[in-house]
Chain A
């Protein structure tokens, strides 16, 4: 066989292989985007959720209140379900709200069985009555949520924060 034929065969092969690689690369683009898309979107704004009437809260008595709104999960839309919860406490004409999500690793924070504050049953993080860190592994105190009172109802800004970091960074 002549060198020319060999050369042209080699050239054709090169084109084919390059085409294959480019084709595979093209396939990778939608695949990667498809897989990565749900993980995108870092910091996001919270959602304002209407909760109880202001009078339903008692001075000095934190109350666990469900935050109810529409919930999207991929292709499902659930109308008016519990998105999360918050501890609400009346302070005069104001209301303080703490997220029930433990800043450590995300378990649900409850009233402390031993003291006046809060605690997380997963890794025994304790918080004082103001949500401040007492002891245990939590890197920061309970996350406060923004509150406003409108028409006699307490509105809470539902918001998740990154877990396990000393700084309070919004996510979701």
Chain B
């Protein structure tokens, strides 16, 4: 190993690099203010972790609206140990923010701002500001719902500033709308423009502390000095262990569904901006911009001016002011979270988007198309089908967790197309889960229960099925009518039973219904065609145009039938109708009432 030492000596003799490094790392600093020293070491450790993991993450990240989400997904879920690196980066950032804020609070309490340490104190404030900017720019990089909507709102808040506001907002977004240039700008700021001054600020702070000590009380020349390397290394090791532990416990750093400018996402800012979010509640109209920028500005100014505030007023005022600002900010943040937790509408919407994120993450594991993750979502029959059902059908129908059973005016589609659903419906068509609450109430009689209203004189009620066995056979027969080759097989139907059931359908049901185009002896024009009932083709037709003769027929769109099922072929493309039909067909058959 002698040669190593030789190389070291060679470099040292010509550059003094070793001595300079030792001087910087293993500084002899006035002792005292141990908490300040620990915070500074922990902050340095977080920054080191962020820089290392950040550079590694850059090697797999792609800053473009089409690929950003996909590349972050790839880092998080596909690349070996990507989730650890991204997790460390994420948690180190949260830790850095908390530590930088604590350093300010602690500095205010121990009067670390007092002359001659003002420069070091202001650098402490700069570190928090740059950390905030790093987190805000970093939050956009995954190009997910939270990041995108958060930035849109933030750019609009800046846009409210008089005169130059709109221009600054457009500079940040890279144009009138947040797009490719906005992402490239945020990325450049995040990896180059902000980290450099952040590291410089930390270095300057440390240089000031070496000269004057971290806080008053340990600044005299005679005060004992201690060497910093040992404690710094120990604190660094503890911080890194803690970051690993949190990353392992959390498993995955947050990644929401891909940014969708067309969605109804309930935007919320990052957790550390919830205080400002809450502040907006108290300032409306023209006061809004001033209220929500002036107050935080005054708070920041207070800390900048602390050296003079203490000299002019008193130490007690300085401390109380700092405590009030931190306490107020914390309280507002807590209020904001509690308000959201108690807001049923928000909780529901939030749960919906969590589900969407989980689904998008699963689909993306098979690969994301070059047009981007949003196109991937739009093409996925399951997600698109769900989205279409929610927007177009759920106001009246219920299927799974979509639609409101209390408000539904049309039939419940859980189990639709199965023998059990058809059987229950034939027995009691006016039950609330079938037609009872909609315009089709009292249109279909029960097949085996006499009507409650007295019949016109002379009419005799005859059951359409003789017994439960016949009813079940008809249900099985009709369920099989809707079967597609890819459906899970239903209970097999014996040829004899099938023939009998078909006879009942074609002879008795056709008083009102059509079967293979024949029937409707009374000319009601309303009861649907039963052949292929519930099949994909039938479902597509029913969605496209219920008044088509192959489904509910001419009277289905009668304006007198208030809230009747509308036709969708004017609103939706053929491919969307197909996706919706497949969604309803599949989810009906794989669920039950």
Contact = CB atoms under 8 A, between A and B. Distances in A.
Interface of A: 35-36, 38-42, 44, 52-53, 55-56, 58, 63-64, 66, 73-76, 82, 84-85, 105-108, 110, 113, 121-123, 136-137, 139, 160, 162-166, 171-172
A68 B159 CA distance: 27
Given A42-B166, A107-B267, 13 more contacts: A55-B570, A56-B571, A66-B262, A82-B261, A108-B263, A108-B265, A137-B280, A139-B288, A160-B176, A162-B166, A164-B157, A164-B160, A172-B176
Interface stretch (B177-185, B249-257, B422-430, B533-541): B177-185
Interface residues of B, number: 43
Contacts of A36: 171
Contacts of A85: 262
Given A55-B570, A56-B570, A164 B289 contact: yes
B66 A76 contact: yes
Interface in B145-190: 149, 152-153, 156-157, 159-160, 166-167, 170-171, 174-177, 179-181
B570 A122 contact: no
Contact of B160 (A56, A58, A163): A163
Nearest to A73: B179
B355 interface: no
A42 B163 CA distance: 12
B87 interface: no
Contact of A38 (B152, B170, B286): B170
B346 interface: yes
A42 B169 CA distance: 12
B554 to A, nearest CB: 17
Contacts of A137: 280-281, 283-285, 288
A11 B171 CA distance: 42
B286 A139 contact: yes
A84 B153 contact: no
A32 B216 CA distance: 45
The 8 closest A-B pairs by CB, nearest first: A172-B176, A39-B170, A73-B179, A164-B160, A121-B266, A56-B570, A74-B180, A163-B156
Interface in B291-315: none
Contacts of A160: 176-177
A126 B150 CA distance: 21
A165 B281 CA distance: 17
Contacts of B65: 73, 76
B307 to A, nearest CB: 36
Interface in B232-267: 261-267
Contacts of B152: 105-107
B529 to A, nearest CB: 25
B227 interface: no
B345 interface: yes
B265 A123 contact: no
Given A107-B149, A107-B266, A38 B175 contact: yes
Contacts of A55: 570
6 contacts: A38-B170, A52-B570, A66-B262, A82-B262, A164-B159, A171-B176
Contacts of B591: none
Nearest to A137: B284
A114 B41 CA distance: 53
B346 A76 contact: no
Contacts of A75: 180
Nearest to B175: A38
B211 interface: no
A85 B262 CA distance: 7
A21 to B, nearest CB: 24
A165 B160 contact: yes
Contacts of A123: 280-281
Contacts of A53: 570
Contacts of A66: 262
B186 to A, nearest CB: 13
Q: Which one of A44, A137, A163, A164 has the highest number of Cβ atoms from chain B below 10 Å of its Cβ?
A: A164
Contacts of A166: 285-286
B382 to A, nearest CB: 20
Interface in B52-85: 65-66
Contact of B346 (A41, A110, A121): A121
